[in-house]
Amino acid sequence: MFKHLVLMALGLALAAGLVLSALQSWQVIPIIYAAEEYEITTPVAAATLSEDHSDEHTHDSWSPNEGKERIGSTVLSNILATFGLALITLAAMTWSREKLHQKLGWERGLLWGASGYLALFVIPSLGLPPEIPGMEAAVLEGRQSWWLLAVICSISGLATLAFVKGNLKMAALVLLALPWVVGAPQPEIHGFGHPDATAVAALNQLAADFVTATMVANGIFWLLLGGMAGWLLQRFPLTQS
């Protein structure tokens, strides 16, 4: 069963991961490149930036070069991340069939994909919208902690609504509200710190386009992942044999 699960997850990772990479290359990555063109590279700004981060970058860190290396790194990251998500999705859908006697197929898979999209992208993005280079942001550790809290509460809340019966469903409201009670970390200054007003206007438009592009790309990705997972489990159900 485990070997069967891994092989199915690998197939899903290659298919959905490559589709996501293609969508990002078409809509998302060009926006990032455009935003990077506005990054301040004057000597004074560079010197100030070097002083501010001298303790954080005592050693040169590796980053992919432009072109094929950067694209290849993105594709590999997407496939690896999708493999992990596929394992979890396949296992959860199999559990629902075995324990709750739910029928599986591509239609049911779309519901699972939509739930994953809500829990791992839409709901966290309401508190921490996707950011482009140059945008002011809160401390990284705070954003990571809140994102993790939002994802855990969203998954738990949606699962409670879907699978728990009776008055216990009310717990879903508490779980879904908890991240907003805590509050997403916010930067001291919102927007962009670029000194050129024209550049700021362009960056604001790019930021809005980036949110739309990432929402569409991730929505297609999750629906594809869920639909394919449901279809595969209908045709090749996981068994103990």
- Asked whether residue 113 is assigned to any structural domain, the reply reads yes
User: How far apart, in whole angstroms, are the C-alpha atoms of residue 174 and residue 157?
Assistant: 8
Weakest mean pLDDT among 21-25, 79-83, 136-140: 136-140
Is the separation of the CB atoms in 74 and 29 below 8 Å? Answer: yes
- Asked whether residue 108 is assigned to any structural domain, the reply reads yes
- All residues at 6 or more sequence positions from 161 whose CB lies less than 8 Å from its CB, including other chains: 169, 172
pLDDT mean over 183-209: 87
Q: Specify the number of domains making up the chain.
A: 1
Confidence of residue 193 (pLDDT cuts 50, 70, 90): confident
Higher pLDDT, 40 or 70: 70
Task: Enter the tokens of residue 18.
Answer: 């490559």
- Asked whether residue 30 is assigned to any structural domain, the reply reads yes
Closest CA to 128 of 149, 107, 111: 149
- Asked whether residue 207 is assigned to any structural domain, the reply reads yes
What per-residue confidence (pLDDT) applies to 65?
64
pLDDT mean over 206-227: 96
pLDDT in tens, 156-181: 999 999 888 888 889 999 999 999 99
Does pLDDT of 51 surpass 50? no
Weakest mean pLDDT among 39-48, 49-58, 61-70, 71-80: 49-58
Q: Which domain holds residue 100?
A: 2-38+67-137+187-235
What per-residue confidence (pLDDT) applies to 40?
61
Weakest mean pLDDT among 10-14, 70-74, 116-120: 70-74
Q: What is the 3-state secondary structure (H, E, C) of 155-197?
A: HHHHHHHHHCCHHHHHHHHHHHHHHHHHCCCCCCCCCECCCCH
Is the separation of the CB atoms in 132 and 203 below 8 Å? Answer: yes
Average pLDDT taken over every residue of the chain: 86
What per-residue confidence (pLDDT) applies to 67?
64
Is the separation of the CB atoms in 116 and 218 below 8 Å? Answer: no
- Asked whether residue 156 is assigned to any structural domain, the reply reads no
What per-residue confidence (pLDDT) applies to 66?
66
pLDDT mean over 19-39: 91
Give the helix, strand, coil percentages of the chain, each rounded to 5.
Answer: 75, 0, 25
Task: Enter the tokens of residue 54.
Answer: 């001298």
- Asked whether residue 164 is assigned to any structural domain, the reply reads no
User: How far apart, in whole angstroms, are the C-alpha atoms of residue 11 and residue 16?
Assistant: 9
- Asked whether residue 179 is assigned to any structural domain, the reply reads no
